[in-house]
Amino acid sequence: FMGCVSEEFSKRLLEVSTSQKRILSLSDYFIKNSNECEILVEHWFDCFCTCQSAEKRLALLYVANEVINTSKTIFPKYRSRFELYLFDCVKICTDFNDILSQKAPHIKLFRIWRQKNTINERVLSKIMEHCEEVITKNPKSLQGYLTSFKPENKIPETKEIARIFEALEKPPSCDSAMRQSIAHQGETFQDPATLLKPYFQLILHPSYSSKDIITLDDEIDVLLKKLQYLEEILNNYCSDLQKETTSRKELEFILMNIENHFIYQEKKCIQTSSMQKQEIKNLEHLIEKYQKLIKINFIS
């Protein structure tokens, strides 16, 4: 299909990454060229099949996700075209053990597909069953994930989360009044070169005179006080911004732990569910065995 699509599209596929900018850019190309839907999706799949990078394979899944969601109402055909290949794509990912890596976000993506009804439930169920089977057959991968999730990084209490949200409710970075005040206070000092130029001229040429040169001590004192006040405001504002940054980092860390906790629980549920299914199958085989024995004894 290389000859059927533009060089620009081929280049974008080759350069794809998990960067949001790259994903949106490539998705936008799909949307703008929806009249070539079949060729573009087939070429996307060709690229997926030859891709040697786990990150690029994940990025291509993100692209498909973005295209399907964006075109859901304006061009739903993209969904049906991608659905033809998504299961095979996931199989490729599992063949390369992408989904078994400790930070693999694939399960999270599939969960979002289910929540948002992104793809057909039949296709999604097939994908999830395959992933469940792969994870179950590789208990070490699950154990590795459980080990990587540190129990000491517990989800904080509601009070702690509320405290952080309260600190970020009216953040300094969104305080337009403070920014305007600083800008107003700093008008005098916005151009230091212009402000100091007359004084340099006076040093170089003692006979130099200008209306911009302040000769009264009181005026100089007023100017210095303005400068000191501005410095104090800026120091306090920078301190507030630093506190805001700290709170944001705390919140990011908390959200990451919450996400890890739920992924951890989900994988444990998958493992437990699979073990229970196997137990049920074993019991069914056992029941069939005894039924046959009873039937034989009854006949004899």
Query: What are the boundaries of each domain within the chain?
Result: 7-147, 158-261
The larger pLDDT score, comparing residue 240 to residue 119, is at 119
Please give the Cα distance from 194 to 242 (Å, whole number): 32
The predicted model gives 125-129 an average pLDDT of 89
Place of tokens 């969104």: 174
pLDDT at 4 > cutoff 60: no
- Residue 273: pLDDT band with limits 50, 70, 90: confident
pLDDT at 165: 78
**What is the reported pLDDT for 178?**
80
Report, as an integer, the average pLDDT of 168-176.
Answer: 82
Distance CA 266, CA 256 (A): 15
Q: How far is CA 300 from CA 19, 156, 187, 279, 296, in A?
A: 72, 68, 108, 32, 6
Fold of the 7-147 domain: 1.25.40
Q: What are phi and psi of 212, to 5 degrees?
A: -80, -10
The mean pLDDT value for 80-93 works out to 96
What is the structure's pLDDT at 216?
47
Mean residue pLDDT across the chain = 79
Predicted pLDDT of residue 152: 46
The C-alpha R_g of the chain, in whole angstroms, comes to 32
pLDDT at 64: 97
